[in-house]
Structure 1
Amino acid sequence: MSIGTGLFVSFEGGEGAGKSTQIARLAEALARQGVRVLKTREPGGSPGAEALRHVLLSGAAEEFGIRMEAILFAAARSDHVETLIRPALVSGTVVLCDRFMDSSRVYQGVTGNLEPEFITSLERVAVNGVTPDLTVILDLPAAVGLARAKARSDAAASAPAAPDRFEREEIETHEKRRQAFLDIAAADPQRCKVIDARQSVDMIAQAILTHVQPLLHKRGHGAVAAERSAGRPQTERVE
């Protein structure tokens, strides 16, 4: 759903698919064109949502059941949308979000076995009319993604990092989520674009830019970029 002259791009996929890397690459490419960019993530992004991030990813909410976990994700998303995403879009900013509503559809809906009606109702309240203009789904076999995620965590820490709430689940669950993302893309091909995440980082980045650029021109960012090209790139980051 278009809001102002901003553009909302969400990134989805399994663990280790490379979402953070590709968000950073796209932000840099757009900033070089003079486009104002905001990078954010879920769960989190806004102060209220960040307060819930640790609770959700640590598994502290597991004991209360998947239904309560879904409600907490929705509460975090609502705060994220109203305090950060919507104002940014109204101001003409391009918002790049690491996970959004499709992750809830997959993680709490498909593999959490929650009723579709319940997930749809939560989503409607949480997003309040703010949905991505484009969703990039980075597709990768679960075994490959989990191996990448573990290698990344180990490289970032002096001691091997413990997997988070979702990384420690069975590989069959991760493969089921992969298929669920592909099913979402098949049902909404205008919004969702599937990209093979086994390609090189450069090839993936170029494929994403190919999908984003026409949408930018429709929002009038082509002219804005030309005017700003001689100036300093404007990029913000929220984590």
Structure 2
Amino acid sequence: MDALARAMGFRGASSIQRYMNPDYKKTYLTVEIAERAADALAGKGEPPITRDEVLDLCGPALRTPTAGTAALSSDVDISTIQTEGLVGDRDFPIYASAQGGQTGMVVTFEPVEWVRRPSPLIGVKGGFGVYVVGDSMEPVFRQGDMLLIHPHRPPVNGDDVLVVLTDGNGSTEAMVKRLVHRHDKGVCVQQFNPPAEFSIPSRFLDRVLKSVGSYRGR
């Protein structure tokens, strides 16, 4: 335990001992502790443990996400978002969201913070995160969860996606839902609260972006 603590950047075992205690009351490790442990343990053991396996100890941090609805600025190309204003190794942009719109969330594509890049989006140009506001995808996702968006990987049925919509007049917004299937006239998507499936006609579709993970909000 002492060697692990030192490998995680702590002085000694007392810094992590409470996380090993069976009486530890939290269900999951914090993201920070899980990331430190992943850095220290990845590749060790037989078979070697992976970084993602360690990060799973912080609960739903790497699970497939879903939630609410977002409005996008029509003059933003989210496939070429630049990573300016980096702080150390924190090069992953998180965009602001607030309650609003008919379906739950409004997103402004100005970074409100920069965080350590999550493993599902390492090396992915234009990847970004956004906080959930609203409850349309509970209990799968709740307010405050951070969604991870991959702008280039094609989504498949059952994926959680950011559906970018257009009204044909230069205005765009986006809904985060679960992709049920594509059809000749558009896409069918699902939400959980209240439970519903509905189709979005092709004439309103701009693009459908895959969501590859989430961090559970505190």
| Bigger strand fraction | 2
**Larger RCO, structures 1/2 (Cα 8 Å, 6+ apart):** 1
Find the structure with the greater CA-based Rg: 2
**Structure 2-normalised TM-score?**
0.31
